[in-house]
Structure 1
């Protein structure tokens, strides 16, 4: 127990610590169903719950702030978001293509000023902090929580949490690639060789710089075929295809089609163009990401050559 307490010079309210009495808690919260995607951003409505009178009063008196650290390590994206003192809700807006693989969210309560005699009477655990006070510096952590992770998929159509595509390796596959429409997600099976290449490009240089390019190669043609299949389903008046219409991937694409005023029975664009629209111009984005990597490699080589000449 003592080793846990050595992490901070003052009592900290957090799950797994007993600096405070039972019944005191702090955490942030979001609902995956409420996360939305615009053309440019991922919007996450977030709120926090705090039960601790002493810390609540620090926030009311502007002596402490509730802040959230939002980061995506693979993309070197990181920022701090601060709640208004009189509002326990906030919407975090993240650049849509500024994050890769996952988004990590962690809430804190931090001191907003120097507090010379910090105490939470009757709320500190009396076994450790009976009538003690602490000198708090500006920026000191007063409460924290475990990291929450939202997984991001570049091939996502509806939400950034769980893609309608599931890409996996099938060692018994006799062709390079196969797809299955029967599940809640569109199952894309790759043979071992193609899967190895796909994973290599997804994790290229550990930066994800070619992730969009790799997804375009695999997902784009699959979605083109899916759209053609859906048009056939919508034209067929029998009940043969009805069970597909209840699947998550089918409903997700229909929902997006409504947003773009697209009709499967009377389409105003080709399957290729509509697939590119659904994937947010993935064709040009993928080629641009590939070009950027090539340019970086070329510039790196040129710099090395010129340096050697000097």
Structure 2
């Protein structure tokens, strides 16, 4: 295993950041921690990258214990924190040279690993890092994290605040890095990115709700979700909340996603209920289940 986490907990005074978390990341796996801000993702990353000590539990990264072997771990991992943390007053080239020197290597020595990314930022090598666009900052940070050819790559919300095109390009790069044998642990609040991982852990309020492949999480979900839309969305939400057999209601794009308590749900009965309350242009149809739907349901159950 590239990463093994066993019963890790961490609290800040009276606030529980992560609680009794356990999971494994296999060799060469792209594993995602999926959850909103404040779910505990960054705290967990800091523990695994030896920046922070857990209150309880154990963890191993690349075969090393995060406490006993913290120096060895730092030589075998690449870490890209959520906030851009490179030297903004240094140029692209100077940042790369600095990080290469720290790890006793050079840009040329591991150029094959970072070539695809580097050629995109090379035209800006004399530009200060602080003057780069969000997408270019992201690529520079990834190059610096890979400069010493790590065995395990930690990416904490790497696509937050990045445009959709750069997000897509970034995930394509991760897939190619994975093919080179690097194990990747990535966190994201974007549910659509979950489908790009081999396995994911859904995390909320410091607890893991479910671990599996995105496909299995969706296929094992046994509730039927309905897309509902009427002319008055705000009133629709209020009226659905009063429907006797409603189980779950939340906005999802242009629709309201609705789950009923009963297996033998009668859409016609609900439509009549809405008509009686003045709704027009009513649309009720079965929705395709997404990771976000499962996450919403799990958070409801664990409140």
Higher relative contact order, structure no. (Cα contacts within 8 Å, ≥ 6 residues apart):
2
TM-score, length-normalised on structure 1?
Answer: 0.25
| TM-score, length of structure 2 as denominator length | 0.25
- Larger Cα Rg: Structure 1 or Structure 2? 1
